[in-house]
A and B are shown apart, each in its own frame.
Chain A
């Protein structure tokens, strides 16, 4: 299976891209997508590409001060990067990202006060936007905070299943010590409420997105061969 993991590297994290690639390779990933708010500032991206036995791709996390500015930023980034993710920091951003077909992955925060809405889920489904779940809180939170996060995740998963939205899961690693192996991530996802098949599909989803974006498309459903 082509399991891919999404990672943050130095300067947004504290491990370099090549260290992340080495750690991910030893954990059994086929590739990593290094995504950053400013990919040009990533420390020594060339060194990561020299690590053998693992595919390294660079993506971008689009962010802007307002939803309108974000939309124009996404369209300008689309042609330059094979993977465009948006962090759902507010309701407006989540709604905008779910309606934009240029967005590959919307990382939902799973806040119990801001659940995934029906309109957002329907828009994400029709625009083929995948919803990403960062399992970092599952690993790092304890007690009441984690219980609330799990409750929000389970509620979101009901809508995901209803609208047949593709999902992705990640450990949200900022250092090589935050990385977890695919089996461990699947085990955590199953405890959080994913079905075993859903968890496996979610780990393969980033590679599927990359593969689609590397092909040349003239329009929706029309590929240039």
Chain B
């Protein structure tokens, strides 16, 4: 009898700026995380399969009895090819079609824009790597500023940089 399946939509958030992370790298990391947490026997009971991955949004298939194990497996992924990353689960559904219909439209409006501006402040200075809404990823001039957390970039918001209204482009005052 065919086993019942579930499909999980996820979003990969990472410090990768040049598309280095491929579907194969992601699946290797997920499989490694699963084997490490549950062993061969656990992995055999819940065969994870990456259905699709476009560099940011992905769809993974798993057994309907192992939702929590799958969540734990994805949550335990912290870097891919040495690049700091996190897998954010968006939702779970019974079919690929309903998973896409329910959880993908909300993600369409998300898009990163690359940036070449600089921030010059008394306590923080560096190059803006990318911005997304009010979120700003900064590569600090002093690399020790993010050394403790194994992160390459600093996570800021435009609220930090100007302290003004949340819709203001706060990066402008530090250029």
Contacts and interface: CB of A to CB of B under 8 A. Distances in A.
Contacts of B166: 50-52
Contacts of A47: 157, 159-160, 163
Interface in B63-107: 68-69, 71-72, 74-76, 78, 84-86, 88-89
A178 B86 contact: yes
Interface in A136-191: 138-140, 142-143, 146, 174-181, 183-188, 190-191
A184 B72 contact: yes
Q: Interface majority SS on B: helix, strand, loop or mixed?
A: mixed
Given A180-B75, A184-B71, A175 B151 contact: yes
Contact of A177 (B75, B84, B159): B84
Contacts of B45: none
A52 B159 CA distance: 12
Which of A10, A20, A140 is packed against the most chain B CB atoms within 10 Å? Answer: A10
B72 A14 contact: no
B81 to A, nearest CB: 15
B20 interface: no
Nearest to B77: A139
Interface residues of A, number: 44
B76 A181 contact: no
Contact of B72 (A11, A174, A191): A191
Given A14-B146, A184-B72, A188-B75, A177 B160 contact: no
10 contacts: A10-B145, A14-B146, A14-B148, A15-B149, A44-B160, A47-B163, A177-B85, A178-B86, A180-B75, A184-B74
Given A22-B157, A48-B159, A177-B13, 13 more contacts: A10-B145, A15-B149, A18-B157, A18-B159, A19-B155, A20-B155, A43-B160, A44-B159, A175-B149, A183-B71, A184-B71, A187-B75, A191-B72
Interface of B: 13-15, 36-37, 68-69, 71-72, 74-76, 78, 84-86, 88-89, 123-124, 134-135, 145-146, 148-149, 151, 153-157, 159-160, 163, 166
> Ordered nearest first, which 10 A-B pairs have the shortest CB separation?
A15-B155, A14-B146, A47-B159, A174-B149, A187-B71, A184-B75, A19-B155, A187-B72, A18-B157, A44-B160
